[in-house]
């Protein structure tokens, strides 16, 4: 279906002749500036295709989109599983299960046999389970689809979690955990999540060497048995294969997979209150990593569109955003600076700003970030900044729908999180209508400098202030994080 994104010229994604058809207008060809080119450019029509859907014999839903450009097929299974639903005394079982799906063999195929067969078929099979979503993906030549699909289905249905491979993966995961403290940015993110969510919340819990050591094959088998059921898996297929052909193949591979009971999802704890917290993790490094943020809005927040534009101006817009411009461009204080606003889909999102600065300018960088947050809340938003941010977001959509894989992935995400099929279009329409007043209202609703969580990872002896100053200003105790 060919869709014209409605709204202003920006929302319609006006593009320059270099990105448009050869038959561009003479006015566009004569343009002497970017502004003249934008004014003369034809409106971009997005060729937004809608996937077909069908149901397998056992009730599994499939999203399908044909792509004949290359003789390849991509198959993806999205599983409703993740760290947020793992037992509190089995931290790490979700991630380890995700790693082992690919390498741990099945009831009828050894790990070595799967490796050899996939190599022979020139097929790539990957698996992972993240915070609240699991994915198993297959990429293969069309001519080798059926035997590769049989392996793909076997891995999903009959994972064996071979003990030998499990020991290897546990050792790899423990080594990754050991190395976390070597990375200040990893430390900052990990500890920030503990501060805003609470250390025992599923969103903040992270596996330790001890918790990984304690995991057994039986734990992985139990996790897999609970979450990997036909009713809990969405399938997607894109590539050079007719629908009827792939439907028959999928029914052969999955049609006899019977539902054995219902998946049990532990209730997520309530979202904690947004309260100020200040912490310092001492690490003898030449630069500091600073995060200032707090829990953020959900996807259905009434400020969804205006909030995205607000953060594009404040910190997500690269070199033109206020934080980057002030902290890095003007003052030269940070190797990296910026921010993002995540809209939560299962629970709360996150508002986060950050900077990586030399130790001697740690507090100055933090002060400048706070200055820009207050500026946004004051409503001092130049029209040109609004236009630039809005255009940047909307123009980027031209590249969000340019492959069948991306199209199907976005549809699957909407279904997975229970969002309406036209959700993306509605967000874009609202962005196209955003005014300075809307951005100001979003800033007042979504930015809470009096309730920030502020964490610094670095050497306090070299910092340009006592980090505890921020704790005093927010009226809380400074928390010191031990990295030993």
Sheet holding 349-358, edge to edge: 334-342, 349-358, 287-296, 453-458, 277-282, 478-481
Report the predicted TM-score, pTM, of the whole model to 2 decimal places: 0.87
Closest C-alpha to 151, from 171, 137, 163, 165:
137
Q: Which has the closest alpha carbon to 327: 353, 308, 346?
A: 353
At residue 103, the 3 state secondary structure works out as helix
Tens-of-pLDDT digits for all 484 residues of the chain?
333 333 333 322 332 222 333 333 344 444 444 444 444 444 444 556 889 999 999 999 999 999 999 999 999 999 999 999 999 899 999 999 999 999 999 999 999 999 999 999 999 999 999 999 999 999 999 999 999 999 999 999 999 999 999 999 999 999 999 999 999 999 999 999 999 999 999 999 999 999 999 999 999 999 999 999 999 999 999 999 999 999 999 999 999 999 888 999 999 999 999 999 999 999 999 999 999 999 999 999 999 999 999 999 999 999 999 999 999 988 988 889 999 999 999 999 999 999 999 999 999 999 999 999 999 999 999 999 999 999 999 988 877 777 889 999 999 999 999 999 999 999 999 999 999 999 999 999 999 999 999 999 999 999 999 999 999 999 999 999 999 7
Q: Phi, psi at residue 371, to the nearest 5°?
A: -60, -40
CB within 8 A of 222, min separation 6: which ones? none
Q: How far is CA 240 from CA 140, 165, 376, in A?
A: 10, 34, 49
Handedness of CA 377, 383, 386, 388 (dihedral sign): negative
Phi and psi angles of residue 299, each rounded to the nearest 5 degrees, phi first: -60, -30
- How do strand 233-239 and strand 334-342 relate by DSSP bridges? unpaired
403 CA to centre of own chain: 19
Closest CA to 234 of 159, 142, 137: 137
Q: Are 376 and 322 a contacting pair, CB within 8 Å?
A: yes
Q: Cα–Cα distance between 170 and 212 in angstroms, integer? A: 6
- Identify the H or E element spanning 453: strand 453-458
Domains of the chain: 2-47 (no CATH), 52-254 (3.30.830.10), 277-418+437-481 (3.30.830.10)
């Amino acid at each position: 279906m060919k869709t014209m994104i409605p709204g202003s010229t920006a929302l319609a994604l006006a593009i320059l002749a270099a990105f448009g058809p050869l038959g561009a207008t003479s006015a566009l060809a004569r343009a002497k500036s970017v502004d003249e080119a934008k004014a003369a450019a034809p409106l971009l029509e997005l060729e937004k295709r809608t996937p077909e859907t069908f149901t397998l014999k056992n009730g599994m839903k499939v999203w399908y989109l044909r792509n004949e450009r290359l003789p390849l097929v991509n198959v993806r299974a999205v599983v409703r599983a993740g760290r947020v639903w793992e037992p509190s005394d089995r931290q790490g079982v979700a991630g380890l299960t995700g790693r082992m799906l690919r390498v741990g063999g099945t009831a009828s195929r050894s790990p070595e046999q799967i490796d050899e067969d996939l190599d022979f078929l020139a097929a790539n099979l990957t698996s992972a389970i993240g915070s609240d979503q699991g994915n198993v993906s297959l990429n293969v030549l069309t001519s080798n689809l059926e035997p590769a699909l049989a392996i793909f289905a076997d891995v999903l249905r009959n994972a064996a979690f071979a003990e030998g491979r499990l020991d290897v993966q546990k050792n790899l995961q423990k080594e990754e955990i050991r190395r976390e403290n070597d990375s200040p940015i990893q430390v900052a993110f990990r500890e920030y999540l503990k501060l805003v969510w609470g250390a025992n919340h599923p969103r903040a819990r992270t596996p330790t060497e001890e918790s990984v050591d304690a995991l057994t094959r039986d734990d992985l088998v139990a996790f897999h048995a609970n979450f990997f059921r036909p009713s809990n898996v969405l399938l997607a297929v894109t590539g050079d294969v007719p629908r009827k052909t792939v439907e028959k193949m999928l029914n052969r591979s999955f049609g006899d997979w019977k539902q054995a009971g219902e998946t049990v999802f532990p209730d997520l704890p309530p979202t904690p209150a947004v309260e100020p917290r200040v912490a310092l993790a001492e690490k003898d490094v030449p630069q500091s990593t600073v995060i200032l943020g707090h829990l953020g809005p959900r996807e259905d927040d009434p400020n969804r569109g205006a909030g995205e534009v607000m953060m594009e101006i404040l910190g997500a817009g690269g070199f033109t955003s206020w934080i980057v411009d002030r902290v890095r461009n003007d003052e030269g204080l940070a190797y990296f600076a910026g921010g993002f606003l995540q809209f939560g889909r299962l629970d709360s999102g996150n508002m986060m700003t950050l900077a990586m600065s030399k130790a001697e300018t740690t507090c100055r960088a933090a002060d400048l970030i706070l200055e820009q947050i207050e500026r946004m809340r004051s409503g001092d938003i130049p029209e040109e900044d609004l236009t630039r941010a809005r255009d940047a977001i909307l123009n980027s959509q031209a590249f969000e729908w340019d492959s069948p894989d991306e199209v199907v992935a976005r549809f699957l995400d909407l279904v997975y999180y229970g969002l309406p099929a036209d959700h993306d279009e509605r967000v874009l329409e609202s962005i196209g209508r955003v005014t300075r007043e809307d951005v100001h209202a979003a800033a007042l609703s979504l930015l809470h400098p009096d309730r920030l969580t502020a964490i610094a990872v670095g050497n306090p002896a070299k910092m340009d202030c006592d980090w505890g100053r921020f704790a005093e200003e927010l009226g809380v105790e400074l928390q010191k994080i031990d990295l030993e």
